[in-house]
Amino acid sequence: METIFLEQWLHNIIRKKLSGDPEYQQFVGRENIDTVTRDDIDRYQLFKLRKTLSYAYQKSTFYRRLFDKNGVRIDDINSLGDIARIPLTDPADIARQPYHFACVSLGDISRATTFTSSGTIGPQKSVFFTDGDLETMTDFMAAGMRSVAAEGDVVQILLPSARPNDQADLLARGVSKMGGRPVIAGITASPEEQLRIIDEAGSTVLFGLAHHIYRITQETRHRHDLKRKGIKALFVTAECLSETMREQLRRAWDCDVHEHYGLTEMGLGVAVECHAHNGFHYNEADLLVEVVDPESGAVLGSDEEGELVFTTLSRQAMPLIRYRTHDISRLISEPCRCRAATMKKIAKVTRRLEAIAKIGGGDEIYPSLFDDVLFAVDEVIDYQLTLGKVEGRDNLLFKVEVTTESEAVRNEIYRALSGHPTVRKNLATNRMAPPRAELVGKGTLTRLTRAKKLIIDRR
């Protein structure tokens, strides 16, 4: 279970490319490499970027028109920074003309996914993958899983599963590639049934949606000693995991808790949190990452917070160039404590542009903002936030799912919310009404999809 495995995987890909590709050998000016440096990774990405740009120009109607309209020439891209010459691609572009992005015939498409950003908001998009794309995706899933699990581990997959080549199926293939045994448990089984599967399969790692694994934990921890289930690691995805939630999970299961960051457009698997828990190592073999100002589109430097922008480097069916994710994060310049010295990291994604609302004097709020204070209340399972107006002032209504409905729990929730800095500030200036909390019973807010939590704005 070495975090450095992901770095070794990346280095081996570069070595293999250099030993078998004369064009790449000519590009870098050598035929072999012993020690891979950060400069070697950058050169590899530049080579792959230029190949991707050429391929997209030849095969994609959208990018050929975009390049011609903006005077983009492949020969002008001589450094990774030169990619800023190319206009950004927005999710709305895919929604309007998905087939204009396709670079292969329909017969070569093995997986077509239609979805909306964050599961429930934004334009509906269609994304395409070939068999080769799926193979590349499962290669990274294997490497990412190997950074958390070990050969021989039994990985219980708690994801929606309905058809071949869906996320659960692809992850299962990735687990098999890294020498583990996958058990697809789905997401509709009750918490008790999931525990039964753990016992029967001998599961040692749980991979699933953050809110779902947290729900299972909260609903069962008082009836079962989860520490005795033999789980070595929890690997959670789809939502930001607050440090309060992480600590609750860690204490309940007595194991390490890792986060995964993924995007359907980028091939589902994008980045994994290592054992240092101070950032995410992303798939540098197949993805180029930038951070831009969400309003101007200007490229930002390391440690500056902005919008994540990805360029695929290996995609056959549908390469995406400078694709806006609407996710807010930053590139971390500080070397990782896991000793993966040549790899870059991105910070935790805490919010999406579409999910941000403003209250009172212009303060931003977003779905994960109140996680730390609410999940510090032991009885809280999940919550939903609605914005409204009371006597002309902004009002926050929290529907809070709890294991036990009582006045004591309600009072603890009120104290937690009232002490939040954003709430306290706006109450002091009389720009918002006191927050309200409605307690609901177990199962009320159950979510059976990957859809992220949203703020309902009824102002």
Q: What is the pLDDT of residues 218-237, one digit of tens each?
A: 999 999 999 999 999 999 99
CATH assignment of 5-129+263-353, given 3.20.20.120, 3.40.50.12780, 3.30.420.10, 3.40.50.2300? 3.40.50.12780
Closest CA to 392 of 358, 437, 360, 356: 360
> What's the CA dihedral at 449, 450, 452, 458 to 10 degrees?
-30
Q: Over the stretch 81-93, which tens digit does the pLDDT of each residue have?
A: 999 999 999 999 9
List all residues 6 or more positions away from 443 whose beta carbon is below 8 Å from its beta carbon: 401
Question: Residue 1 — very low, low, confident or very high, per pLDDT cuts 50/70/90?
Answer: very low
Q: Which pLDDT score, from 0 to 100, does residue 451 have?
A: 65
Q: Which pLDDT score, from 0 to 100, does residue 354 have?
A: 86
Q: Which pLDDT score, from 0 to 100, does residue 450 have?
A: 64
- Structural domain spans, the chain: 5-129+263-353, 136-261, 356-457
Q: Which pLDDT score, from 0 to 100, does residue 48 have?
A: 99
CATH 3.40.50.720 matches 356-457: no
Residue type, 147: S
With a cut of 70, say whether residue 295 has pLDDT above it: yes
DSSP code of 440? E
Fold matches, 136-261 and 356-457: no
Residue found under tokens 């706006």: 426
Instruction: Quote the percentage of the chain above a pLDDT of 70.
Output: 97
Closest CA to 260 of 125, 384, 140: 140
Q: Which sign does the torsion angle of CA 21, 22, 24, 25 carry?
A: positive
Q: Which pLDDT score, from 0 to 100, does residue 453 have?
A: 76
With a cut of 70, say whether residue 117 has pLDDT above it: no
More confident residue, 320 or 353: 320
Strand residues in 179-312 grouped as ranges (E): 181-184, 205-209, 233-237, 256-261, 271-273, 280-282, 287-292, 306-312
Tokens, residue 365: 């709020």
DSSP code of 433? P
Q: Are 111 and 251 in contact (CB under 8 A)?
A: no
Instruction: Determine if residue 209 is left, alpha or beta; phi over 0 gives left, psi from -120 to 50 gives alpha, anything else beta.
Output: beta
Q: Break the chain down into helix, strand, coil percent, rounded to 5.
A: 40, 25, 40
Question: Residue 118 — very low, low, confident or very high, per pLDDT cuts 50/70/90?
Answer: low
Instruction: Quote the percentage of the chain above a pLDDT of 90.
Output: 92
The CA distances from residue 414 to 241, 298, 401, 417, 424, in Å, are 22, 41, 14, 5, 12
3-state secondary structure of 127: strand
Mean pLDDT, residues 416-423 taken together = 96
CATH topology assigned to domain 136-261: Rossmann fold (3.40.50)
Question: Residue 332 — very low, low, confident or very high, per pLDDT cuts 50/70/90?
Answer: very high
Q: Which pLDDT score, from 0 to 100, does residue 121 have?
A: 56
Q: How far apart are CA 453 and CA 59, in angstroms?
A: 37
Q: Over the stretch 338-386, which tens digit does the pLDDT of each residue have?
A: 999 999 999 999 899 988 999 988 999 998 999 999 999 999 999 999 9
Q: How far apart are CA 144 and CA 280, in angstroms?
A: 11
Q: How many helices (H) and strands (E) does the chain have?
A: 13, 21
The CA distances from residue 150 to 3, 154, 180, 194, 262, in Å, are 11, 9, 7, 22, 21
**What's the mean per-residue pLDDT of the chain?**
95
Q: Which pLDDT score, from 0 to 100, does residue 119 have?
A: 46
Q: How far apart are CA 123 and CA 120, in angstroms?
A: 9
Mean pLDDT, residues 323-349 taken together = 95
Q: Over the stretch 2-30, which tens digit does the pLDDT of each residue have?
A: 447 999 999 999 999 999 999 999 999 99
Q: How far apart are CA 268 and CA 131, in angstroms?
A: 15
